[in-house]
Structure 1
Amino acid sequence: MPENPMKEWFLKVPWGKLAMLSWGDPSLPPTLLVHGFMDTAATFIPLVDVMPATFHYVTFDLPDVLQALHLIKEFLIKVQGRDVPIVQKRKQERAGKDDLQLEPGTFLAARVGRAFSAGPEADGVTPAAAVCSNLSDAGASVIGQSSAIGAGAAVLDIVGAGHGHSDTMPGPPISPLHLVEAIRQIVDQLQWDTVSCVAHSMGYLICAYYNAVYPGRIRRLVSLAGAISIQLHGLVELPKDWFDISIASYYRRYFQPPAPLTYTYKKAVESLARARDVSEADATILASRCLKSVDGEFRFTWDVKAKKIYVPPIAEDILYSILSTPTPTLCLVPTEDKTPITFYDCHVNMLAKLTNERYVFVSVPGGHSVHLTNPEFIVPQIVKFFNEDVKSKL
């Protein structure tokens, strides 16, 4: 699509900004492209270059936890008359040296966040206790705590609202569920009634979650090597492993992060090529949005702590309910995808249950990043799917 130059811009969101790329006339039918884990919007540039100019293409860098620690430090609580960053209090608790007793006080500052009442309404007279839950708890975890604190305090759970150039969401660990909000912001702010989506790898889960929460907004959904991400939910059958992988290993990196590595540009591109199983030429495209210069060398912009993504503990029946929406879905399965399938039974069983006239699986040649390495292999399938009349139950 050489006649449609790429446009770079930013979309303002409650937690900062989303870094956007777009091609084509905004009056044309919109197509949103959503990348996956440890990736950026640049991954879709080769695909859009060979897609027809009959759609308006939009993609973005997903928010990650690049600056999460910095933002969390801005959450202050009143403790014994002092303004104390929550991070400082938690560090003392972990060291067994907590001499700061949290008293009913005032939530003083949160540059990003929303307050939910889990007790008596704050009336300016009743003392308030600030209870900060993990972002992944979505506020529900404080319900039991509010009872323990007592009815004499108004309990406020503070839930904080980047990959590439987008600003991060505060409150690690980040899961695909949280990233649904990024899609909602885009769809609502660009005033799209409906949108077609092309989602790669974990991006498919993000789109599927959005589709379940906001039914009818996604007109067509294309999964590029996204079926492989379904297996992540097999972890829920192994509670200890789920905790070790989703929680413990994440926080080990969070509280004791390894030193960030720096590379020459060539070494960084080579590392990216190996990790993504792509050529160095293709890795150069990806590097355009995930490298920053540091004292003459280069460092990847994603936080090393983001390598451990939080897997929401969703049981198989509920996951099936989420994925089996009426939205016509085309799952393109690369025949040379080397991504390991750890939870084979979960993966195969879910795919078997999903397969029907609205949820179609098609094998295509290529590896996990076929949209980057050989986009011409999948363009005919995508264009045909977008243009055909696919039955959808009402």
Structure 2
Amino acid sequence: MEPSTLSRQCEEIKIKVPWGHIAGKWWGTKSVRPIVGLHGWQDNAGTFDTLAPLLPDHVGFLAIDYPGHGLSSRYPDGSDYTHMKYLYVLRLIMKDQNWDKISIIGHSLSSSLGFMFSALFPDKIDMLVGFDMLKPLVRPADSLADLLSRNMEGFIIANERNIENSEPPSYTYEECLERFYKGLGESVDKDKCFHIMDRNIKPSRKNPNQYYFNRDNRLRYGFGTVGQDLCVALAHRIKTTPHLFFKAKGSPYYEDEKNYFEILDILKKTNPNFEYYNIEGKHHLHLNEPEKVIGIVNEFINRHRPPSTCS
């Protein structure tokens, strides 16, 4: 499959927010409201580098870095990262860009955030494509208390290091690549890792020819919890949003499977515009092998954001 002309039209952008800016990569036309690309936990806009050039030319694509990821500003000292804060970022972007609705392509965490956005603000979304995480993860109650305790200790240390502006450990580029590859459980093909990693590292101020990972370490220590009862209630609120979801066969569910299938069953029954595909591939399927999904994605976009509505 040949890349479209979008591959020659990527531009780095910044959108002002109260604590700094949201960075992004805008592919294609700016004459109409773009589809917004939302990355997974600790990733960044680079996760869509191989998919974006293959999307339809009639609508642009804006892949953003969430706060604390990639080239975007971190949240202020003392702040944590939660699902609702990420949704707040989307509402801020919509206000800044004067959009009445949003179209989303989300991977992993952001696929579940798209699910939440559709349920909470159904009149403000016209299309959702999700990759490999259908809903917010539900943690077992017997392990959640220990997790929250550990996360508090980790958050305090990470926040203090931010305040001190101390540089994290640095590595050669090759060492960074190996750590990144292994850290993702090898879910990104090694020759594709640079798309995300290069946006997540900075040159060391101390050690020439070495780099450190620049994402906000507080990201690793979340306190937000979501129960299955809430996920069920959210699923029942999604009545008509066009929703295309891909599950990668080579990727785990990251929670008790019964939670996932309960929500999948609700969406299939209650939303006539829900489409589901189980595709061979790993968690970063969209980055590793975009050719496996692009035909389905583009047909979905052409149905729900056709050229006639984007002129």
Contact 2:40 2:110 in 1 (8 A): yes
What residue in structure 2 maps to residue 255 of structure 1? 156
Aligned counterparts, 1:46-195, within 5 A: 46-63=50-67, 162-170=68-76, 171-195=78-102
- Is 2:107–2:132's contact at 8 Å kept on the other side of the alignment? yes
Shift of 1:250: 1.3
How far apart, CA to CA, are the structure 2 residues paired with 1:177 and 1:241? 23
TM-score (ref. length: structure 1): 0.67
Pairing 1:375–2:277 present: no
Considering only aligned residues, what root-mean-square deviation do their CA atoms show, in Å?
2.2
Aligned match of 1:17: 21
CA contact (8 A) 2:250 2:283 kept: yes
1:309 pairs with one of 222, 228, 250? 222
Shift of 1:367: 1.1
| Aligned match of 2:195 | 285
Per mean C-alpha deviation after superposition, the further-off stretch among 314-323 and 269-278 is 314-323
CA contact (8 A) 2:127 2:304 kept: no
Aligned: 1:5 with 2:6: no
* Pairing partner for 2:249 from 310, 331, 335: 335
The 8 Å contact of residues 21 and 60 in structure 1, kept in 2 or not, is answered as yes
2:282 maps to amino acid: G
Given residue 252 of structure 1, which amino acid in structure 2 is its aligned partner? E
* CA–CA separation in structure 1 for the residues paired with 2:255 and 2:233: 22
Aligned twin of 2:43:
39
Alpha carbons of structure 1 residues 248 and 5: separation in structure 2 relative to 1, 3 Å: same
Give the 5 Å matches for 1:224-243. 224-227=131-134, 230=136, 232-233=137-138, 235=139, 238=141, 240-243=142-145
Match of 1:210 in 2: 117
Whichever of the two has the greater Rg, that structure is 1
Q: Secondary structure at the match of 1:386?
A: helix
Would the aligned equivalents of 1:199 and 1:223 in 2 still touch at CA under 8 Å? Answer: yes
Output the amino acid matched with 1:358.
Answer: N
Q: Are 1:176 and 1:205, in contact at CA under 8 Å, matched by a contact in 2? A: no
Aligned amino acid, residue 380 of structure 1: G
SS of the counterpart of 1:318? helix
Query: What is the count of residue pairs matched by the alignment?
Result: 284
CA contact (8 A) 1:270 1:283 kept: no
Structure 1's consecutive aligned runs of 4 or more residues displaced over 6 angstroms after TM superposition are none
Q: Distance in 2 between matches of 1:347 and 1:261?
A: 37
Identity rate of aligned residues, in percent?
23
Amino acid at match of 1:249: R
Deviation at 1:6, TM superposition (A): 0.8
TM-score normalised to structure 2 length: 0.84
Deviation string for 1:54-81 (max 9, x for gaps)? 2111111111xxxxxxxxxxxxxxxxxx
- Residue matched to 1:387: 302
Return the offset for 1:371: 1.1
C-alpha deviation, 1:222, in angstroms:
0.6
Provide the C-alpha distance between the structure 1 equivalents of 2:253 and 2:304, rounded to a whole number of angstroms. 35
Which 5+ residue runs of structure 2 have no aligned equivalent? 162-166, 306-311
